Amino acid sequence: MELFFNPFDNLVCILLGISFTVWFTLLLVFIIVPAIFGVSFGIRRLYMKTLLKIFEWATLRIERGAKEKNHPLYKPYSNAIIAKEPTSLEEEIKEIRRSGSNRDLDSAPEFEMSDIFYFARRGVESIMDDEVTKRFSAEELESWNLLTRSNNNFHYISLRLTVLWGLGLLIRYGFLLPLRVTLAFTGVGLLVVLTSVVGLLPNGRIKNFLSEKVHLMCYRICVRALTAIITYHDSENKPKNGGICVANHTSPIDVIILASDGCYAMVGQIHGGLIGVIQRSMVKACPHVWFERSEVKDRHLVAKRLSDHIEDKTKLPILIFPEGTCINNTSVMMFKKGSFEIGATVYPVAIKYDPRFGDAFWNSSKFGMVNYLLRMMSSWAIVCSVWYLPPMSREEGEDAVQFANRVKAAIARQGGLVDLLWDGGLKRGKVKDTFKEEQQKLYSKMLVGTQEDRSRS
């Protein structure tokens, strides 16, 4: 019996050994070495094109299947149930009154009982579909990308499609996921080790140079760990030392995407656990701005540390996400004014993910971080575009809030996102009374005029 198993065992061992070696060589040659030098073989782009063709085919099959069974397809791309009129309060109320009375409307418009129609309608519209909560759920797709998590018409699939889906599942979880997890561990491990090593050097040009190279290399490996296919536009506007880089926030991956193309000083709270380890070793190689939990509440302290960092022109540009929370990448919400008060040059960056390949939005109320990362790593790919916008500074007579809104509008325009004035923090909190006052001001202006008008008459 023993004699029988031995050669068999040997064979299995040899085979395993060979496959591991091949595996790691491939990994090294095709992924890690290019990451170190920042070159690309173009494999990922080819992969992307192939996937797109398959998705188109899959969607057509579903539509055909649904038509055959004569069922109405649940159309995901009519994201809204209602169409909202983009008219203002004033226009609407005037219209209501015009139809209701024969009075001359140019004389001071006064209160009409029908004014309530406008408010009632707007209120009910918002119950059915409101702008804010829509931004906090994942964007709905037109085509199906072979992930069950993004499909609502699952029961219309034919056999061929099911096979394809099964194959996709196998590839994603059996091949891609382990590959990516390996890469991720490699990337993070290298980051921690190498930054600690670089941290041992005395401060100076060599240290900065090496730290830059190390950071870039490790982030590039992480990018490949997510199979992120990123297109950078307008790189001549890349943030420079002494500036603040501002971007819209969709997921924690944003950091990796930006940091793999340039070096930034990160800002954030020190965490415990693995992230804390990474943070502490990163700061050895080059100065990042990490805050203790207690310091985060103190706005003056935060502002002071940030401005100190900026004053020093040898330090890297700061990377900040002013929305303060993750938005689903269809819009840009209110920017918190803190980073705009410091007075440095602001380099806006717009990040737009292509949802066809995998939804990058982190719905923190639905998924924890680990769950989210696993979902990311088992998607097909993460495709996104990054636009570096020309630098902006605060102008004369502009306060921090106006400046923040100006930057926000520029980012929204470039990324093709909707510019909303809502505060992302509202997804958890209550509306501030100032917003209500705005509405009241608008309406009262119609009825009784503003304070100036009254004092004039």
Binding site for other proteins (CB under 8 A): 72, 74-75, 78, 80-85, 95-96, 99-102, 110-133, 137-138, 140, 148-152, 154-155, 422, 426, 430-431, 435-441, 443-445, 447-448
User: Contact at 8 Å (CB) between 272 and 233?
Assistant: no
Pairing of strands 418-419, 345-354: unpaired
CB nearer other proteins, residue 97 or residue 240 = 97
Tokens of 197: 């090593």
The SS3 assignment for 63 reads: helix
Count the neighbouring beta carbons within 10 Å of the beta carbon of residue 210. 17
How far is residue 353's CA from residue 249's CA, in Å, rounded to a whole number? 11
Count the neighbouring beta carbons within 10 Å of the beta carbon of residue 327. 24
Q: What is the DSSP letter of 149?
A: G
Nearest alpha carbon to residue 338 among 425, 279, 414: 425
User: Contact at 8 Å (CB) between 253 and 326?
Assistant: no
Question: Nearest approach, Cβ of 142 to other proteins (angstroms)?
Answer: 15
CB nearer other proteins, residue 47 or residue 443 = 443
Question: Nearest approach, Cβ of 144 to other proteins (angstroms)?
Answer: 12
Question: Nearest approach, Cβ of 92 to other proteins (angstroms)?
Answer: 8
CB nearer other proteins, residue 141 or residue 319 = 141
Question: Nearest approach, Cβ of 380 to other proteins (angstroms)?
Answer: 16
CB nearer other proteins, residue 229 or residue 334 = 334
CB nearer other proteins, residue 361 or residue 388 = 361
How far is residue 79's CA from residue 71's CA, in Å, rounded to a whole number? 20
Q: What is the DSSP letter of 247?
A: E
CB nearer other proteins, residue 36 or residue 448 = 448
CB nearer other proteins, residue 133 or residue 241 = 133
Nearest alpha carbon to residue 254 among 310, 326, 195, 192: 326
User: Contact at 8 Å (CB) between 270 and 331?
Assistant: no
CB nearer other proteins, residue 42 or residue 123 = 123
Question: Nearest approach, Cβ of 159 to other proteins (angstroms)?
Answer: 19
- Range list of β-strands (E), 275-324: 289-291, 318-320
**Which residues, including other chains, have CB under 8 Å from residue 8's CB and lie 6 or more apart?**
none
User: Contact at 8 Å (CB) between 365 and 167?
Assistant: no
Question: Nearest approach, Cβ of 211 to other proteins (angstroms)?
Answer: 42
Question: Nearest approach, Cβ of 441 to other proteins (angstroms)?
Answer: 6
Nearest alpha carbon to residue 417 among 323, 331, 325, 326: 331
CB nearer other proteins, residue 130 or residue 399 = 130
Question: Nearest approach, Cβ of 121 to other proteins (angstroms)?
Answer: 6
The SS3 assignment for 291 reads: strand
CB nearer other proteins, residue 127 or residue 159 = 127
Question: Nearest approach, Cβ of 134 to other proteins (angstroms)?
Answer: 10
Question: Nearest approach, Cβ of 169 to other proteins (angstroms)?
Answer: 13
Q: What is the DSSP letter of 392?
A: B
Burial 140-168 (b: 16+ CB within 10 A, else e): bbebbbbbeebbebeebbeeebeebbeeb
Q: What angle do CA 434, 437, 438 make, to 5 degrees?
A: 90
Question: Nearest approach, Cβ of 254 to other proteins (angstroms)?
Answer: 22
Q: What is the DSSP letter of 27?
A: I
CB nearer other proteins, residue 80 or residue 159 = 80
